[in-house]
């Protein structure tokens, strides 16, 4: 009887995991979406309303990826398969390699965005702070989702923006929405859930 109870509990857990893991797919099936998305790596992300891709507004040369997202002031670039789930020297080396003119960390913190633990870091490219341009600050967000690690970078804005809590809060809100709309196309929530249960029951 005890073995039967255990078996039934496992079956019920699997059924629950299946429905939870596929709620997004069910919602997509039941609703019509006209959202604009961009593909990158093995993932996709919804372009925020009133924003454009850098291809659409001829700003591709200012993006750090094949196709960024822009509001014609800042540019947002997104990467999947990032080498880590939080910012360490490994991420800093990659961020610095994308900056011609220097890379200086201004502030680092961990925040919660939509229930996901996000490693966040403001940085400056000193060479951009000159008599002709003042937008030299950027911010990176690194986080895990759907069995992969992501990095989102917003660049560039001014020191005034950086010190404006309303502006930085709006940035966090925008990134939180984007995190909710970023998806790993190779992710299978059902098998991922089963794997997590297995690893919990039979740890190495």
Strands across the sheet containing 104-113: 52-53, 69-70, 75-79, 148-157, 137-145, 116-124, 104-113
Residue 103 lies in a domain: yes
Domain limits at 71?
A: 38-184
Containing H/E element for 47? none
Identify the band that residue 26 occupies on the pLDDT scale cut at 50, 70 and 90. very low
Residue 29 lies in a domain: no
Residue 4 lies in a domain: no
Q: What is the largest CA-CA distance in the chain?
A: 79
Residue 201 lies in a domain: no
pLDDT value, residue 97: 96
pLDDT value, residue 201: 60
Domain of residue 77, CATH code = 3.40.1000
Residue 202 lies in a domain: no
Identify the band that residue 186 occupies on the pLDDT scale cut at 50, 70 and 90. confident
pLDDT value, residue 5: 60
Tell me whether the omega of the peptide bond preceding residue 156 falls within 30 degrees of 0, making it cis.
Answer: yes
pLDDT for 77-91, tens place per residue?
Answer: 999 999 999 999 999
Give bridge partners of residue 37 from the DSSP assignment: 46
Identify the band that residue 193 occupies on the pLDDT scale cut at 50, 70 and 90. low
Residue 16 lies in a domain: no
Residue 116 lies in a domain: yes
**CA 36 – CA 38 distance, rounded (Å):** 7
Q: How many domains does the chain have?
A: 1
For the chain, percent of residues with pLDDT exceeding 70? 75
**CA 111 – CA 143 distance, rounded (Å):** 10
User: Comparing C-alpha atoms, which of 163, 143, 162, 161 is closest to residue 152?
Assistant: 143
Residue 161 lies in a domain: yes
């Amino acid at each position: 009887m005890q073995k039967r109870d255990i078996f039934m509990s496992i079956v019920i857990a699997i059924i629950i995991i299946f429905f939870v893991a596929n709620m997004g797919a069910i919602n997509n099936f039941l609703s019509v979406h006209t959202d604009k998305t961009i593909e990158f790596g093995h993932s996709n992300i919804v372009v925020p309303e009133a924003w454009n891709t850098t291809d659409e507004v001829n700003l591709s040369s200012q993006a750090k990826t094949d196709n960024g997202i822009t509001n014609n002031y800042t540019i947002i670039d997104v990467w999947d398969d990032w080498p880590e789930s939080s910012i360490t020297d490994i991420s800093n080396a990659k961020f610095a390699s994308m900056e011609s003119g220097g890379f200086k960390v201004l502030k680092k913190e961990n925040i919660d965005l939509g229930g996901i633990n996000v490693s966040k870091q403001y940085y400056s490219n000193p060479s951009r702070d000159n008599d002709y341009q003042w937008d030299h600050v950027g911010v990176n967000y690194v986080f895990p989702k759907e069995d992969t690690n992501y990095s989102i970078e917003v660049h560039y804005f001014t020191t005034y923006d950086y010190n404006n809590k309303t502006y930085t809060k709006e940035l966090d809100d925008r990134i939180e929405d984007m995190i909710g709309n970023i998806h790993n196309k190779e992710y299978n929530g059902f098998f991922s859930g089963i794997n997590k249960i297995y690893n919990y029951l039979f740890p190495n």
